[in-house]
Structure 1
Amino acid sequence: MGTSEFMLAGLVPGIAQTLDVSLARAGYLTAAFAAGMVVGAPLMAALSRTWRRRTALRAFLVLFIAAHIAGGLTTSFAVLLATRVVAAVAYAGFLAVALTAAAGLVPPDRTGRALAVLLGGTTLACVAGIPGGALLDAAFGWRAAFWVVALLCLPAFAAVSRVADTPAGGVTDLRAELRELRHLAGALLLAALVNAATFGVFTYLAPVAAGVAPVPVVLAAFGFGCFAGITAAGRLADRWPGHVVAIGGSLLLTGWIVLALVPGALVFLVFTQGALSFAVGGTLITRILRQATGAPTMAGSYATAALNVGATAGPVLAGAMNPFRVAAALVAVALVSAVAGRSGRPAGPGRPSRSRRR
């Protein structure tokens, strides 16, 4: 599903030529997918909150597959654009439910590790999506990428069918879950800022790297760094979440500042920046799900929406100026917000004082 999101970067030229539209208009397909992800996460989570989780996951997969089959068959750009929105809504709904389901399948002290397995798929999509889509387009045409994604979802459907069919916890009042957003606003903001920095750089990594190192090598190094970071965070986030955000965030900020000043350092820092970006981002997602005790069915959608707000805003901001400077500014704001939120958080009967926290 993540590969479907990233593969469009390599398919836009072929789509524009085949469907007789401009490159700029074909680029709307990427924006449509991003918008569908932001809106689809809370919308689909609310719609499916009374369903059993396995039922919801399978329904979203079927909708996702159907959207790609339709996209692979259509000769109309308008229809293709609509299928991208539908696919994004289905992906957002799947991820929203999957985040909550994954956290519920393990003991609380292994939540981070479970989420790292799930989000690891997104990091691998960073590596496979763009080159995979481009290679399929070159060999068989852009429609082949849609068919391959649909086929890859079939074993996923079979695997999801074996997941424990647990209730979604839909007895909770939806309005009460929406009110929980007030308590999660700080964590959601941090996740959005860090993800905006990550995808702001990733979007423009190819042109930035063109004069520094082979672009495929840089993209692959960043993607594998993301995978390494989310995997490491899976263990660290369960034991020292505060340390990961504070230390990892500081190192991440330092790296973006160095790259803003010395772009040639990209060849040395691209792997570590990818690792730190997803280590910090993955830890923040774990924190959101742990804090959202009052939103058992909507927590995953809040996290998904926050990530995609960042993924949408980051490239827009980074396109206006140096991507590394934008990333440094966003991470700096995130760290300042984290410190301000922590120092201004009162210790109450249900909240341990700072001296008792890990």
Structure 2
Amino acid sequence: MPFTLHLLGLAVFAQGTSEFMLSGLVPDIAADLGVSIPAAGSLTSAFALGMVVGAPSMALLARRWSRRRALLGFLLTFLGVHVLGALTTSFPVLFATRVVGALANAGFLAVAVVTATAMVGPDAKGRATSVLLGGVTLACVAGVPAGALLGQVWGWRSAFWAVALLSLPALLAVARSVPGGAPDAAAPGARRELTALREPRLRLVLLLGALVNGATFCAFTYLAPVVTEVTGWDSARVPVVLALFGLGSFLGVTLGGRLADSGAVRLPVAGGVLLALCWAGFALTAGNTPATVVFVLVQGTMSFAVGSTLIARALYAAPGAPTLAGAFATAAFNVGAAAGPWLGGLAIGAGLGYRSALWVSSALVALALAVAGAAWAARRGTADRRSPSPTTAV
């Protein structure tokens, strides 16, 4: 893989840290800015929804620029709003910085995916994508626990300053390593690229990716209360649990990136079945410490292996959308990231307990398997109807 891909992964690491770090900072933000904890928690939803909206809209905007100019513009905006967020004493301003930061993050990731896949051969898109997604998983391993630690020692603003400082070397790396030049004149028009969404195979893969990722982030969002309230661990061990899940996710992305390029469907199918069963198994055994440790690592690995494979398959399914394929995948990824925690919150709010988030994750993966099975059966039926029967064949 070209070294530039790893530099793009550094920027994605900074942005992934920003997206997920609020899970450990919400109480401090609420107390400092004089708002309720649910209001402070809305900052996470604002970022996820901004990613969903920003992925296609920012990718369309970036079509007018060279890839280096687009990446630099999005990264500078991302850095600037984190400086503003670290300085502000106004919750509405902080909320606005999260929305703008999400738009910039979505635009950067969409362009970075296209840039990365353009740097490698046509049969290596999965591995290139895994390098970028590796930045997200490393954010779970190191960035999120580090942000929580900074918040405990120096206050929540220090985490925002850390993300801004971490973006500086990535900014310099993009400026020096990503080729400039004019926008790709040979790329198809925006309207033609958007018609790629009519392709049934692409829509199916995006739906499956959203469902699997929804399951992942449903469980991840409520992992801390699961291990403290159900398993019975001390809250001081929560960063270790998050890091363990992140370690599994890094292993999963690496595995998924290698298998996605083979075109095989074994990992999404077999991995999906295993995911659904193991989320249910985790829910049943969450009160047992050894089982919790095993399931956290295994589910982190399998969730991101299956999820990253589906995202890569979306890129293969959108050859007619070379500049918007990354936006389609990013939007699907974040639809799941927004919907999964919301559904888990509904279950917990209904009085079903923290284990219910794990059951919701199992149900979402089971739904993905059912959708995939129905699509396969429909496609098989269509193929059979189009085939001449033995009695009528000449």
Per the alignment, in what secondary structure is the counterpart of residue 324 of structure 1? helix
Amino acid paired to 1:241: A
Matched residue SS, 2:25: helix
Query: What's 2:19 paired with?
Result: 5
SS at match of 1:164: coil
Q: Which blocks of at least 5 consecutive residues in structure 2 are unaligned?
A: 1-14, 348-355, 384-394
Aligned counterpart, 1:351: none
For structure 1, the 5+ residue unaligned runs are 349-358
Alpha-carbon distance between aligned partners in 2 of 1:167 and 1:242, rounded to the nearest angstrom: 38
Q: Secondary structure at the match of 1:313?
A: helix
* Residue number in structure 2 paired with 1:344: 378
Decide whether the 8 Å contact of 1:53 with 1:168 is kept in 2. yes
- For the pair 1:191 / 2:209, whether they are aligned, the reply is yes
Contact 1:168 1:297 in 2 (8 A): no
1:52-201 alignment to 2 at 5 Å? Answer: 52-161=66-175, 162-165=177-180, 169=184, 171-183=187-199, 184-201=202-219
Deviation of 1:240 (Å)? 4.5
Give the superposition deviation at 1:54: 1.2
> What is the 5 A alignment of 1:302-317?
302-317=328-343
Question: Which of 295, 308, 313 is matched with 1:287 structurally?
Answer: 313
* CA offset digits 1:160-193 (Å, max 9, x no partner): 2202337654642211211211212111100000
2: CA distance between counterparts of 1:203 and 1:241? Answer: 31
Per-residue deviation, 1:304: 0.5
Match of 1:227 among 250, 261, 271: 250
Q: What is the TM-score of this pair, normalised by structure 1?
A: 0.93
C-alpha spacing 1:241/1:63, structure 2 compared with 1 (3 Å)? farther
- Alignment-derived partner of residue 354 in structure 1: none
> Structure 2 CA distance, aligned partners of 1:241 and 1:125?
28
- Equivalent position of 1:45 in the other structure: 59
CA RMSD of aligned residues (A): 1.7
Aligned mate of 2:261, from 226, 238, 245 = 238
Instruction: Letter of the 1:140 partner, please give it.
Output: W
Give 1:202's aligned residue. Answer: 220
Match of 2:389 in 1: none
Q: Distance in 2 between matches of 1:118 and 1:148?
A: 20
The equivalent position to 1:261 in structure 2, one of 262, 265, 284, is 284
Give me the whole-angstrom Cα distance separating, in 2, the residues matched to 1:51 and 1:276: 37
Distance 1:18 1:269 in 2: 36
CA distance in structure 1 between the partners assigned to 2:169 and 2:379 by the alignment = 46
Which whole-Å CA distance do the structure 2 matches of 1:340 and 1:54 have between them? 42
Q: Deviations over 1:65-84 (max 9, x none)?
A: 11111111111111111111
Q: Deviations over 1:283-334 (max 9, x none)?
A: 0011001111111111111111111110000001112220111111111111
Structure 2 residue aligned with 1:249, among 268, 272, 284?
Answer: 272
State how far apart, in whole Å, the 2-side matches of 1:38 and 1:240 are: 27
Q: Aligned residue for 1:319?
A: 345
* One-letter code aligned to 1:299: A
Quote the Cα distance in structure 2 between the aligned partners of 1:237 and 1:178: 24
Look up the equivalent residue of 2:311 and give its one-letter code.
Answer: I
User: CA 1:292–1:256 in 2, change beyond 3 Å: closer, same or farther?
Assistant: same
Residue in 2 that maps onto 1:276: 302
- Using the aligned pairs only, state the percent identity: 57
Between the aligned partners of 1:124 and 1:147, the Cα distance in structure 2 is: 19
1:100 to partner: Cα distance: 1.3
Distance in 1 between the 2:52 and 2:28 partners? 27
Alignment-derived partner of residue 49 in structure 2: 35
Residue identity matched to 1:105:
M
Matched residue count:
348
- The SS at the match of 1:107 is coil
Give the secondary-structure state (helix, strand or coil) at the position aligned to 1:239. coil
TM-score normalised by the chain length of structure 2: 0.84
Change (3 A) 1:90 1:216: same
